[in-house]
Amino acid sequence: MALEFHIGEFDGPLDLLLFLISKHKMNIADIEISVLLEQYLDYMADMREADLEISSEFLEMAARLVYIKTVSLLPRHEEAKELKKELEGQLLEYQLLKEVAVQMAPMYKGNRSFVRRPSPIKIDPTYTGSHRPDELLSAYMITVGKGARRLPPPPAAFKGIVAKRVVSVTSRIFFVLRKLYRTGEMPYNEFFAASDRSELVATFLAMLELIKSKRITVSDDNSTVYFSREKRRKAAPESE
């Protein structure tokens, strides 16, 4: 039976994830990222078909789930365990807040309580304190330090941000196809040998797009990637 989604009924990505977890009877303390990612991407696809604008927080959560899934496929996936544990903690906290909100809803009185405006209070701006000279010197030095901290940071502080390489999904699609065209198959892990996070995420999204378009297939145990024979026959005359 196909899943049915009611677009626009979720307050945010965590609310959507809780809905998917409840619908598919998952355990929040041990969620299956692969299944959760598939259902989440299906929901976003329905949003696109309905011509609804997808907010940045939903896209950010999709990228976060893709990254957790990507690092979990690597030989050493300690980082994936930490990221998964962090997501599970956020979901448990959000679920608790929703339960508290339901309990507090009957206590809300709305506009049934009225109070008068507070009376204005006259405040004397004259400072009447007395301080020793060493206290005044200490206050002056603190003020000078705050002024120095308001200066713009040096260019070196932005080196790690500006120099970060951005890898496009299109470039990784060509990378995957070039790898598979001659031999027709390749071990899955060889596509994720790079250590750059941007490249890993772009490669994973590229493979999702190629699998969706049936240009490549993956073995049942996720160990080997195959080039589609039908697509290869169509591409052969063009390469000649």
Q: Tell me: the pLDDT tens digits for 74-96?
A: 777 777 778 888 888 888 888 88
Average pLDDT, stretch 97-123?
76
d(CA 107, CA 39): 36
Name 187's bridge partners: 224
Q: Is residue 139 part of a domain?
A: no
Q: Is residue 189 part of a domain?
A: yes
- Same domain, yes or no: 97 and 21: yes
Of 83, 105, 127, the last residue of a domain is: 105
pLDDT for position 233: 46
d(CA 133, CA 135): 5
pLDDT for position 5: 38
Q: Is residue 149 part of a domain?
A: no
Q: What percent of the chain has pLDDT over 90?
A: 0
Q: Is residue 56 part of a domain?
A: yes
Name 224's bridge partners: 187
On the question of pLDDT at 103 being above 70, the answer is yes
- Count: domains in the chain: 2
CA atoms within 13 A on the CB side of 91: 24
pLDDT for position 51: 57
On the question of pLDDT at 237 being above 70, the answer is no
Q: Is residue 223 part of a domain?
A: yes
pLDDT for position 234: 46
Q: Is residue 142 part of a domain?
A: no
In this structure, the number of other CB atoms found within 10 A of the CB of residue 218 comes to 14
Q: Is residue 77 part of a domain?
A: yes
Q: Tell me: the pLDDT tens digits for 170-212?
A: 888 888 888 887 788 888 888 887 767 888 888 888 888 888 8
On the question of pLDDT at 6 being above 60, the answer is no
Domain that holds residue 181: 169-239
On the question of pLDDT at 101 being above 60, the answer is yes
pLDDT for position 112: 63
Of 86, 105, 124, the last residue of a domain is: 105
Q: Is residue 96 part of a domain?
A: yes
Average pLDDT, stretch 207-232?
79
On the question of pLDDT at 129 being above 50, the answer is yes
* CA dist 197 → 34, 68, 95, 193, 201 (Å): 19, 11, 31, 11, 6
Average pLDDT, stretch 99-126?
76
Mean pLDDT of the chain: 76
Token pair listed for 91: 């979901």
Average pLDDT, stretch 226-239?
54
Burial class (CB in 10 A: 0-12, 13-18, 19+), 4: exposed
Sorting pLDDT into bands at 50, 70 and 90, what band is 111? low
Q: Tell me: the pLDDT tens digits for 44-62?
A: 777 776 655 666 777 888 8
Contact 189, 73 (CB under 8 A): yes
Torsion angles phi and psi, residue 31, rounded to 5: -75, 150
pLDDT for position 183: 80
Sorting pLDDT into bands at 50, 70 and 90, what band is 148? low
pLDDT for position 193: 78
pLDDT for position 39: 80
pLDDT for position 191: 81
Of 105, 124, 143, the last residue of a domain is: 105
- Same domain, yes or no: 101 and 26: yes
- Same domain, yes or no: 17 and 100: yes
CATH number at residue 216: 1.10.10.10
